[in-house]
Amino acid sequence: MTRSRLYRSGVLELEDFPLADAAHHLADPSVTLWLDVGTAADLAALAAELGLHPLAVTAAFGEDHQRPKLVRYDRHSFLTAATARVTGDVLTASEVDAFVTDRVLLTVHRDDTTGLDALTARWDSTPELAKSGAAFLLHGLLDHLVDGHLEAAQALDEQVEVLEDLVFADHVDHTGLQRRALRLRRSLARLRHLAVPMREIVGALMRRDDTLLPYFQDVHDHVLRVTEWTESLREEIATIRETQLSIQGTGSTRS
């Protein structure tokens, strides 16, 4: 299913119109569009109309798990980022790509549409910013993604606390604890891999002198919090592992 929105002079006017109507709507210079596609065919149908660079179009449905980045082309920018979700102590990520022009945000999802309603709700929560056009839509997307990274960091933090408690349990399953610690370290490394490049992406957007600068600054602050949080948790896991080995060694000596 494709999703779409039309803002006219900063006011939401139309939703979920056919992608084939995008060119007609863009004939009005007061219109800004959000378009979301899930297939290469849909993207190809819009590529010529929006002047999308062939390399970016190929990347959008190319190799998965690309490093987050923002690439500027002549007629648009191309963003690669990812959602993050934690189940237990395992983090899963789903790539999100976006093409940004002066009046269009075109998002590309491959398999995860669960965040689209949350994304539109994010835009609806700040309607006063909609007059900033595609920059407003891009800010909402980045804010949504980074907040998801924060939630993932919080979930992993809670799992690290559980790990700490298990170390001092009366009967410790050392093998199970070690495996759990390894899964957590991998999840934290994955989250950090997603978050660190976002500093550069948001930092580049902060150089724009417009009304959204304070809002991009807020997103940048959240990115820094995620990166610092993940590093702190990795250090905590290392400490937990050292404590476990010490306890394990003490137990062996007593035996």
pLDDT tens sequence across 177-214: 889 999 999 999 999 999 999 999 999 998 775 789 99
pLDDT digit string, tens, across residues 213-255: 999 999 999 999 999 999 999 999 999 988 888 877 666 555 5
Q: By percentage, how much of the chain surpasses pLDDT 90?
A: 76
Higher pLDDT, 120 or 63: 120
Split at pLDDT 50, 70, 90, the class of 1 is low
Amino acid at 224: L
Which helix (H) or strand (E) segment holds residue 107: the answer is strand 104-109
Q: Which domain holds residue 18?
A: 3-250
Residue 160 lies in a domain: yes
Residue 63 lies in a domain: yes
Split at pLDDT 50, 70, 90, the class of 113 is low
Instruction: Answer yes or no: pTM beyond 0.85.
Output: yes
DSSP assignment string, 126-191: -GGGGGGTHHHHHHHHHHHHHHHHHHHHHHHHHHHHHHHHHHTSSS--HHHHHHHHHHHHHHHHHH
Residue 220 lies in a domain: yes
Give me the phi and psi of 5, to 5 degrees please.
Answer: -145, 150
What is the rounded distance in angstroms from the CA atom of residue 69 to the CA atom of residue 201? 6
pLDDT at 145: 96
Taking CA atoms, 59 is separated from 21, 94, 183, 241, in Å, by 25, 15, 30, 40
- Checking if the pLDDT of 11 tops 80, the result is yes
What are 195's two structure tokens? 């978050």
- Checking if the pLDDT of 6 tops 90, the result is yes
Residue 235 lies in a domain: yes
Task: Give Cα 24 to chain centroid, integer Å.
Answer: 31
Mean pLDDT lowest for which of 58-62, 82-86, 120-124? Answer: 58-62
pLDDT at 242: 87
Residue 225 lies in a domain: yes
What is the rounded distance in angstroms from the CA atom of residue 5 to the CA atom of residue 104? 10
Higher pLDDT, 12 or 1: 12
Contact between 139 and 217 under an 8 Å Cβ cutoff? The reply is no
pLDDT at 175: 86
CATH number of the domain at 71, please. Answer: 3.30.460.20
Residue 255 lies in a domain: no
pLDDT digit string, tens, across residues 31-55: 999 999 988 999 999 998 999 999 9
The strand ranges marked E within 45-138 are 69-72, 77-87, 90-100, 104-109
pLDDT digit string, tens, across residues 128-172: 999 999 999 999 999 999 999 999 999 999 999 999 888 887 777
Bridge partners (DSSP) of residue 151 are none
Mean pLDDT computed over 83-91: 94
What is the rounded distance in angstroms from the CA atom of residue 212 to the CA atom of residue 47? 28
| Number of helical H runs and strand E runs in the chain | 7, 7
Q: How many domains does the chain have?
A: 1
